[in-house]
Structure 1
């Protein structure tokens, strides 16, 4: 058994003995609608739920308790037309901590360049090795990012194939789409889908991916049995990540790590010895300088 997970929306379809990988909860916010019919977004929510229910992302078999818990929050920020929209896409994925009833966040990310087209009752379907539309491509891209991060947390570089699939999804986006629907190109900024997958696959970030495994399997998953040893190994993992930050400055993956793990690191090291707390405060303040004040509480 890999781990136990609590589900929000039970997302599973059986193909023989194959069970689904993701348990997904979708919410859609429409604070400033002026053109589109609100019923369109009720339909979109249903279509997205069916999309995740009916898509088998891998060839692996997942027990029900092994599924990855994902929340997706879509906030419509611009109505380009009655069927074309820009939105903020907020995603969080979690996995349980072994031997406890607590969870560890795998991925926390906000994509503010989520452009998509949708008409009421439009089906959404992912087809491997082809591009259907930007809505499907973006959601499939992040599904494989999450699958990759989850796999990396259980085995060293275990998520490689999932990350490669995410990169292939990006490469299949037609030029006319990627030019208008931002987020797929390197020129669109330094914090987008292009740079996320570039960071995850570049050799410069391999030490972070090794540290990701160490942090989870050797550290946080062992907190129930030997918290002192687990914390030492987690500090070593954080030092590796700081090394990546030094060798690959301003990389997106460091920001993603800080956004995902900053609060968790604080919670884990609050009861730690002073020397450990000071060391962690130094590391986290270096890799997450915009939140340096947050880590000061470890020094008190």
Structure 2
């Protein structure tokens, strides 16, 4: 597989058990605000990094190599006293067995991110109630979302307990005066995303997600790649059941967007083990038409 499909390539030690804590980097960008106080943003960056990496999200104590590598990038666009508005990009990757390649689990941009923050304040997570300032709530929601994605990739439906935590945070945060949580009339809201993930109708996508990673990618780098490719091919073909309903599904479209380059690279060769690539090509042209010319039509 081409190295260019890696979100970032890092050396890692692989573990057969799925990770349940994060090893996160955090960037806070305030360039849009001009000459504002940079010290406050550096303090926010450090506070968030410490908060994400030192909070016990699962109750398990793990070595760094067991944790989920992730990144939180925040771009501040507005400031009014201690109130901020901006965008947050959330990314996470998963190691692939017997390689240095890391597969993208999630890569999303949330443009409805408003919060309050006082420099050097303590950030403490309480899953039972809304924090009152939205910062802890949004970050904690995405932490549990990442943990859920990671667990789902190592065990079938293994992320349900962490997705349920994210859903509880979303429920606590509704009707608190902050955008991004509404279950209706707010496309790509956090509540809509987590509701779709836990919807029984999306069980096949979650099953595909597990098979794609654990039985597919983790066996793709053997000398004979045909078995791994066949598993990934069959798993993706199972998504045909969504071809008439995927358009407005945030969860489904995140999967396709995050995996399109990787999927293309897996099958971008003359050695696909006799797979009927036209079947997968036609399906992905329906599920991801924006990639038809740049990716799917280029398969041999």
TM superposition score normalised by structure 2: 0.87
For 1:290, the equivalent position in structure 2 comes to 290
Shift in alpha-carbon separation, 1:49–1:24, aligned structure 2, 3 A: same
Superposition pairs of residues 36-51 of structure 1, within 5 angstroms: 36-51=36-51
Per the TM alignment, residue 284 of structure 1 is displaced from its structure 2 partner at its CA by 2.2
Match of 2:234 in 1: 236
Give the whole-Å Cα distance in 2 for the aligned partners of 1:30 and 1:136: 19
What corresponds to 1:14 in structure 2?
Answer: none
Change (3 A) 1:20 1:285: closer
Equivalent residue for 2:259, pick from 243, 257, 261: 261
Q: Partner of 1:158 in structure 2?
A: 158
Count the aligned residue pairs.
282
What residue is the counterpart of 1:146 in the other structure? 146
CA distance in 1, matches of 2:200, 2:221: 33
Q: Is the 8 A contact 2:10 2:102 kept in 1?
A: no
* 1:78 counterpart SS class: strand
Question: How much does 1:7 deviate?
Answer: 8.2
Give the conservation status (yes or no) of the 8 Å contact 1:285–1:292: yes
SS at match of 2:163: helix
- The aligned residue for residue 11 of structure 1 is none
Candidates 194, 198, 212, aligned match of 2:195 = 198
Q: Which has the higher contact order (CA 8 A, sep 6+)?
A: 2
Note closer, same or farther for the CA distance 1:227–1:135 as it changes in structure 2 (3 Å cut): same
Q: In structure 1, what is the Cα distance between the partners aligned to 2:207 and 2:279?
A: 20
Q: Secondary structure at the match of 1:250?
A: coil
Tell me what 1:183 maps to: 180
Structure 1 residue 239: Cα displacement: 1.6
- The answer to whether the 8 A contact 2:23-2:64 is kept is no
Query: SS of the residue aligned with 1:69?
Result: strand
User: Structure 1 residue 276: deviation in Å?
Assistant: 4.4
Q: Could you say which residue in structure 1 is the equivalent of 2:118?
A: 119
- Secondary structure class of the residue paired with 1:104: strand
Question: 2:10 touches 2:100 (CA, 8 Å); kept in 1?
Answer: no
Whose helix fraction is larger, Structure 1's or Structure 2's?
A: 1
Which structure 1 segments of 5+ residues have no match?
A: 9-18
- Aligned match of 1:169: 169
Counterparts in 2 of 1:278 and 1:63: CA distance versus 1, 3 Å: farther
> What's the offset of the Cα at 1:283?
2.5
Which residue matches 2:103?
104
Segments of 5+ residues of structure 2 without an aligned counterpart are: 1-8, 13-18
Of the candidates 194, 201, 205, which is equivalent to residue 208 of structure 1? 205
Query: 1: CA distance between counterparts of 2:146 and 2:31?
Result: 28
Q: Residue 5 of structure 2 aligns with which residue?
A: none
> Post-superposition shift, 1:248?
4.8
Compute the displacement of 1:50 (Å).
1.4
Structure 2 distance, partners of 1:292, 1:204, is 26
Distance 1:7 1:220 in 2: 17
Contact 1:73 1:90 in 2 (8 A): yes
The answer as to whether partners of 1:68 and 1:93 remain within 8 angstroms in 2 is yes
- Whole-angstrom CA distance in 2 between matches of 1:27 and 1:282: 39
CA 1:131–1:64 in 2, change beyond 3 Å: closer, same or farther? same
TM-score by length of 1: 0.87
